[in-house]
Amino acid sequence: MLNVILFGPPGSGKGTQSENLIAHYQLVHLSTGNILRDEVNRQTPLGVEAKKIMDQGQLVSDEIVIGMIKSKVSENLEAKGFIFDGFPRTVAQAEALDKLMDAMNAPISVLLCLEVPEEELKERLLKRGVIEGRTDDNETTISNRIVEYKNKTQPVADYYQAQGKLKKIQGVGAVDEIFQSLKDAIASL
Ligand code: B4P
């Protein structure tokens, strides 16, 4: 099984590159951001609560997102592999994911970390805010999301580096070039 974590700061292109990777490797896509936005759109109790947190640029609780991932993984036990997009975002989430995948005898293969400078991230997200109308893509929320990333999410890369599973990918340039670098990194596993 090929189990890939696509990692990087907000706006680094995780969602964009996930689409390419799923089509190429026929993996099941698990994006906690998409699952949460779906709850928000359907105005479920979880969605109403999550919207407040997301609009402040903060992370939704570990308990909620770990529960979401467990149920999605168990719905797809026959999968060739998974792409985890936007998850794990804390070390506690990473530990829970490892436990879940190890129990299935399907450990995480690699964490691919998209590296993009902060100025470029802000530019991309502000642009997306205008185009897609996402309420968390405004200046204040974007800054909070970047702070949350540095404080709580970056340690996840160290956690997987300690397991020898971290691969850094240059995330600036044409989408196709970045996709090629991701494929090269997977081929070298
Ligand atoms: P996410 O939905 O995960 O979104 P993201 O990090 O903002 O964006 P992504 O990296 O996917 O960027 P994209 O490809 O779209 O998270 C949103 C919120 O949900 C979080 O803030 C949090 O509150 C909550 N949440 C989600 N998961 C959670 C978890 N596990 N725990 C707790 N809370 C969680 O690209 C961005 C833009 O850049 C797009 O417009 C794209 O077109 C453009 N772009 C992409 N690649 C480009 C390139 N090479 N050049 C130029 N532009 C590019």
The string of pLDDT tens digits covering residues 69-92 is 999 999 998 999 999 999 999 999
The string of pLDDT tens digits covering residues 131-188 is 999 999 999 999 999 999 999 999 999 999 999 999 999 999 999 999 999 999 999 9
Taking the CA of residue 8 as reference, the ligand 1 atom at the shortest distance is 10
Nearest to 12 by CA among 41, 40, 33, 35: 33
Taking the CA of residue 69 as reference, the ligand 1 atom at the shortest distance is 30
Instruction: State the burial class of residue 75 (Cβ atoms within 10 Å of its Cβ: 0-12, 13-18, 19+).
Output: exposed
Quick check: helix, strand or coil at residue 42? coil
Which of 5, 7, 14 has most ligand 1 atoms within 8 Å of its beta carbon, as the pocket-test mutant?
Answer: 14
% residues pLDDT > 90 (the chain): 99
Q: Does the beta carbon of 94 sit less than 6 angstroms from any atom of ligand 1?
A: no
Measured in angstroms, how far is the CA atom of residue 14 from the centroid of ligand 1? 6
